[in-house]
Structures are given as C-alpha cells and as structure tokens.
C-alpha cells in the first residue's frame, strides 16, 4: 500500500480517531472477558473467547497505527476496561440469550462508529482506513454470530442507552 504523507493536522486527527478505536477494542476485551466469565453455557463462553481473540488483533493493529502517527493510547483505558468488564459480567449473569444479544447490539454500534470513522479519515490515510475496514468486517461477523447462537434482539430504548455510553467514551477518548 502506497503511503501518502499526511499533514501534521491530518496525523493528529487520524491518531485521535484511531485512539477511539483502540479504546473500543480495550472495551471489547473487557466485555468479552466479563461475559465469558459469567456465561452459563460452554458454547456461549467459547463464542466470547473466539471473538476476544480476534479483538486482540484489532487492539494490536490500532496501537501500532497510533504509534506510527506519533500519538498515544487513551489514558482513560483502565477506567473504560473496568466499566466494560462490569457490564459484560452483568450481561452474562442475566443469561446467555441476553449475553449474546449484548454482543450483537454492541458490535452493531461499533460498526456504525467504524463507518463514521471511515468517512472522517483524511483521504490520504489508507493505512488506517484498511485497518478499520478489516475491523468492521470482523465486528459485523461477531454480531451475526451472536444472533445465530441465540442472542436476543435488544429494543431501541436499550440501544439508545448504549449509544449514550458510547458517545461519552468516544468524546473523552478523542482528547485524553
């Protein structure tokens, strides 16, 4: 892939978007770990562990890209990990159908964010764009797999709350 030299402003902007995506992957790790811990069925736990393994790749790709853009990961990652682990564990305690539905709803929201970031990236940042495209494909597959394994479809009011929490994470992580 031919790299285009990004301006300082473009590098900063791309790095901030990638920092958000990195934090999202930190949250995904925490959610899946919490959910796998409290899942009732071994097959549900296996689905969580497989998705977490793929999320580790995303985490690594984002972190590497942030370094290439001369920036840093979010200082808020420990807070977001703890909050996400707790939410994941709670979802698991509510039963596998709700647990898997939480994955589907979360990954659908992540896909929406990734689509927005793909549009917002500077035109010359094909390296970040390539990473986000692959992540989007994987996240979409995670959502589908969760539903196929019996996950419930969440009602819009629950999804709205999830979006509000997501906005808080993305807005804070963009800067810190």
Between 170 and 15, the more confident residue is: 15
Out of 33-37, 43-47, 63-67, least confident range: 43-47
Out of 7-21, 79-93, 157-171, least confident range: 157-171
Average pLDDT on 23-41 reads: 89
Closest CA to 44 of 94, 107, 105, 92: 92
So what's the pLDDT on residue 50? 82
Dist CA 25 CA 11 (whole Å): 21
Percent of the chain at pLDDT exceeding 70: 98
Q: What is the pLDDT of residues 38-60, one digit of tens each?
A: 988 888 888 788 888 888 899 99
Closest CA to 118 of 10, 18, 7, 24: 18
Closest CA to 23 of 99, 88, 82: 82
So what's the pLDDT on residue 154? 84
Give all domains of the chain, ordered by start, each with its CATH number. Answer: 8-175 (1.20.1260.10)
- State yes or no: pLDDT of 2 exceeds 70: no
So what's the pLDDT on residue 10? 96
Average pLDDT on 97-105 reads: 89
Q: What is the pLDDT of residues 136-166, one digit of tens each?
A: 999 999 899 889 989 888 888 888 888 888 8
């Amino acid at each position: 892939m031919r790299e285009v030299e990004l301006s300082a402003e473009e590098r900063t902007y791309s790095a901030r978007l990638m920092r958000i995506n990195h934090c999202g992957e930190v949250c995904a790790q925490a959610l899946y770990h919490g959910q796998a811990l409290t899942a009732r069925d071994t097959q549900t736990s296996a689905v969580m562990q497989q998705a977490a393994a793929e999320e580790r790749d995303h985490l690594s790709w984002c972190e590497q890209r942030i370094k290439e853009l001369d920036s840093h990961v979010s200082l808020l990652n420990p807070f977001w990990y703890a909050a996400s682990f707790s939410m994941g564990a709670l979802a698991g305690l509510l039963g596998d159908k709700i647990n898997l539905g939480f994955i589907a709803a979360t990954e659908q929201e992540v896909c929406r964010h990734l689509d927005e970031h793909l549009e917002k990236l500077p035109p010359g940042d094909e390296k970040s764009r390539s990473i986000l495209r692959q992540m989007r494909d994987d996240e979409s597959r995670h959502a589908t797999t969760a539903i196929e394994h019996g996950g419930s479809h969440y009602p819009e009011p629950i999804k709205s709350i999830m979006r509000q929490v997501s906005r808080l994470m993305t807005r804070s992580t963009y800067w810190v």
